[in-house]
Structure 1
Amino acid sequence: MKKIFLPLAALIMLFSCQNDDQNSAASPTEAIVQRNCATQEVLEEQLKADPTLAIRMNQIEAFTQNALLTKRLVNGKIVIPVVVNVLWRTAAENISDAQIQSQIDVLNKDFTATNTDFSNTPTEFAPVAANIGITFELVKINRKSTTKTSWGTRDAMKSSKKGGIDPTSPSTTLNIWACKIGNGILGYAQFPGGSLATDGVVIDSKYFGLSASDSYPYNLGRTATHEIGHWMNLRHIWGDSSCGNDLVNDTPVHKTANYGVPTYPYVSLCLPTHNEMTMNYMDYTDDRGMYMFTAGQKSRIQAIFVAGGARYAFAQ
């Protein structure tokens, strides 16, 4: 389905919309049975706290759409330096160097379409299935013990004054915080345009990298793939509203988030009749059920790395 892009004045409404179709988060003591990314909720709080953020995001969106129209996209290879900040209270939260490296390995496969399950892409979607062409390099691991039982989603883990770890060179380095988030949240990210002091991605340590079997069905490192997609300016595939707009032309319109591993073909409730791309990394399916980005998502990502783009410094 071809999507109609909103005028810039309407994008502020898009950025601050509520998704009434999502289930509420589980309590801290319950097992997580459905993927729950807090990126949209965090964005809404940031917009309330900083009215100028919507203006900056509108400017980034205008730049992105212009880059897509004029095909001003990155041609060279982009390698993203990564610093992982581990905040731990228990031994399980103090994840090993090997587990951290396993996450980097997953990202390198998922963002280059070399993941083994990429071949599961249905024939219908094969023409738009894409190699993003971006790789990641682990440059440093920071560790800090804490007495906190959970960190929540107010970015406390990103501040040494609040007991966390300050980001390292956030304009040129992707910072990932591994910690206990709580309230059923697997992870969240900051979209381009936010403060450098809080820029990066947060992943619950239990779901970081190739993790233990008790982390199933989120034990294959795809939470970070999903969240870094947000960090690279991708929206949830359902546009965070019923039959919403993710600002990408080649992703089918979704009624809402999909969970588990839906059987293909999964017919959408959004008209006209079509199949939903439930295996896209920006849906909410289980780790084993998501395994592809699209060419449209690739172009949207590339647009933030061109000269003048929000993350151009990473392409230098």
Structure 2
Amino acid sequence: MAFDGGRLAPGAVRDWCGTMPVHRRLLDSDPGYARAREEIETFTYDAAREDPPPLGLVTIPTVVHVVWSRPEQNVGDEQVASQIEILNRDFRRRNDDVAILPPVWAPVAADADIEFALVDVTRTRTEVAAFDTDDGVKSARAGGADPVSPDTHLNLWVCQLGGGLLGYAQFPGGPLETDGVVVTFTAFGSSGTATAPFDLGRTSTHEVGHWLNLRHIWGDDGDGCGGDDFVADTPNQGGPNYGKPTYPKVSCANGPHGDMFVNYMDYSDDAAMVMFTRGQALRMAAALRGPRSALLAAAATS
């Protein structure tokens, strides 16, 4: 996919999130991951049926790894701080632009009761011009930076991603040594090198959603209508949305309200995605109770 300064080039194939290719690679190569994913989905389904009490506010210790080969890729502390602030607003439903929601979806827009506390920023100069979804950026031996305590911390790498990727994440259940989120330096935060239309930090919001076990809102079945994101309050839709759709954007006979293109787990521009749903918040809470429960212990002692 062609990518130029943060913008999609004309005619580009716009599959800018690499999470599902990573997921499929691990399914094919790691039987333990496949078993873990089955167990996690069973746990998540049971948790939704049991309706457990709320967790309360969870604060996730976060380490940002800046991996750079050119000076402009060495994003500054202010840009890092802007990304953490955006994550905290988005996951707490404190983003001012939630006001653009079509009224029909306002009642299901959720405060996920999750915040992020920056505990360290590492900086690594590399000879690698651009990284891919092979997790090289997560390894010092491959020219990246090793994760820090990935069972109890969110590790977030910022680098030059190739192939037009804006970012990718690893779902819960994968190897600890590659656990975390990767975002390209032109789609990180809201200052410095962040470039429109991906200059409001929503790539990280999207990818951290994956890291907390959210799927793409259309269910990853291409442009069909048979996919499932395992969340009841997100409408079925026929593939991802791009740019800034106009309400209603109808697909898969989901009228009159159509696609929830304002959801962080779609592919809309940063300025168009402004919400998680209550069902997505419950799914993230299940991830914190189950496969990411070590984060709760870390949050309690931090």
TM-score between the two structures when normalised by the length of structure 1: 0.88
Match of 2:137 in 1: 157
The answer to whether the 8 Å contact 2:186/2:193 transfers is no
Residues matched between the structures, number: 289
Is structure 2 residue 238 aligned with structure 1 residue 250? no
Instruction: Let me know the Cα RMSD of the aligned residues.
Output: 1.6
32, 36, 60: which is aligned to 1:56? 36
200, 204, 214: which is aligned to 1:220? 200
Is structure 2 residue 148 aligned with structure 1 residue 168? yes
The answer to whether the 8 Å contact 1:74/1:305 transfers is no
The answer to whether the 8 Å contact 2:62/2:118 transfers is yes
What secondary structure sits across from 2:120 in the alignment?
Answer: strand
The Cα shift of 1:272 comes to 5.1
Change (3 A) 1:52 1:29: same
Match of 2:187 in 1: 207
Is structure 2 residue 124 aligned with structure 1 residue 144? yes
Match of 1:116 in 2: 96
Match of 1:271 in 2: 253
Amino acid at match of 2:296: A
| Gaps in structure 1 of 5+ consecutive residues | 1-24
Change (3 A) 1:92 1:73: farther
The Cα shift of 1:35 comes to 6.1
Change (3 A) 1:114 1:27: closer
Q: Deviations over 1:172-211 (max 9, x none)?
A: 0000000011110000000000010000000001111013
251, 267, 270: which is aligned to 1:287? 270
The answer to whether the 8 Å contact 2:219/2:229 transfers is yes
The answer to whether the 8 Å contact 1:35/1:259 transfers is no
Change (3 A) 1:198 1:31: same
Match of 1:303 in 2: 286
In structure 2, distance between residues paired with 1:104 and 1:266: 31
The answer to whether the 8 Å contact 2:236/2:254 transfers is no
The answer to whether the 8 Å contact 1:188/1:227 transfers is yes
Match of 1:18 in 2: none
Match of 1:191 in 2: 171
In structure 1, distance between residues paired with 2:185 and 2:105: 33
In structure 1, distance between residues paired with 2:117 and 2:200: 19
The Cα shift of 1:32 comes to 2.5
In structure 2, distance between residues paired with 1:82 and 1:224: 12
Match of 2:300 in 1: none
Match of 2:23 in 1: 43
In structure 2, distance between residues paired with 1:292 and 1:203: 20
Deviates more, 1:96-105 or 1:34-43: 34-43
